[in-house]
Amino acid sequence: MASASAWPAPPAHLQDIPRYQIPEADRGLQKVDAEKWLQVTDAATVLEGPSFDHAGNLLLTDVFRGQIIKIDPQRRQLVLFEDANLTPSATAVAPDGRIYVAAGHKDGSGGEIFSIDEQGQNRRVILPADKNYQPNDIVLGKQGEIYFTDARGNSGDLSGGVYCISPGTKTISPVLTHLSGANGLALSPDGGTLWVVEFSAGVLHRLVMKNASEIEPFGETVAYRFNSPAPDSMKADDKGNLYIALHGQGRVIVLNGNAIPIGQITIPGRDKGEFLRTANLAIKPDTHELYILSSSDAEHPSGAAVFRSWSLGKGLKG
């Protein structure tokens, strides 16, 4: 009979790695931890669409409840607007103070873009639902144009895109089509470069613009491919850096103006699986204050919160 020492060693086992572990390609990036600034709700929802009004209040949307919430610097909350039939996902504040909103319809009948005044009243529809788009994110151009992503499609259905609404005639012009789940949008500080995220494909497009709706010849490139899902919304600072929320990872990746990764901001609790649904962020204009929206899933029910960190450049208006 063979001795026990003669038996082969048991095979090595792979280690179980948590799904929220930072991908190896990103682990060498400088990292800072955000701080929790405000627990908005303990209920299950997704927070989206942050921007700042001219009084310095943070605006954000509660997607599940169809709300736009205003949070003042003292962290007091007020429901500014509510429509239970909508799933608002983006806000942007115009120079005249009006708040532009992108929202889907809960019944699946498309989505719309509308504006409201600073009191949440006087609603004006800009892109009606019968146009059959699914607007997800919006950004306002320097000449009053409105860029929006159409979030239709997926990896096997390239039916989404980026469009421009002219300020006068409200003409809708395609900028880049055949995208899979077009999502985050950002403009460079000079307004000459439009950045677009494809949620389903996990890529970032750089569009060097010839004019408001046309791309320069050879001006479109896939500037960055994300290492894991899923890139969501983003913002640019006044230095041209990009801050991109990574939905499902509880972190924000920072790219410079040439789309080279230079850092990341992590959400507290992500190491326990909490607040992984990092969806969007905003930089307070003329400051380095960066506010990140992140929510938890059903497996780790911790509600939804606003987290604060600091940006390299200052926030842009609009």
Active site residues: 232
Token pair belonging to 83: 């429509």
Token pair belonging to 282: 């905003």
Token pair belonging to 303: 């509600």
Residues in the chain: 318
Q: Helix, strand, or coil here: 153?
A: coil
CB-CB contact of 136 with 127 (8 Å): no
Kind of pairing between the strands at 215-225 and 67-71:
unpaired
Residue whose C-alpha is closest to residue 202's, from 261, 244, 143: 244
Kind of pairing between the strands at 251-255 and 215-225:
unpaired
CB-CB contact of 233 with 223 (8 Å): no
Task: For residues 50 and 102, give the distance between their C-alpha atoms in angstroms, rounded to a whole number.
Answer: 12
Task: State the virtual CA torsion across 174, 176, 178, 183 in degrees, nearest 10.
Answer: -100
CB-CB contact of 46 with 60 (8 Å): no
Backbone dihedral region of 110: left (phi > 0), alpha (psi from -120 to 50 degrees) or beta?
Answer: left
CB-CB contact of 274 with 294 (8 Å): no
Q: What is the DSSP letter of 268?
A: T
Largest CA distance in the chain: 92
Task: For residues 266 and 206, give the distance between their C-alpha atoms in angstroms, rounded to a whole number.
Answer: 25
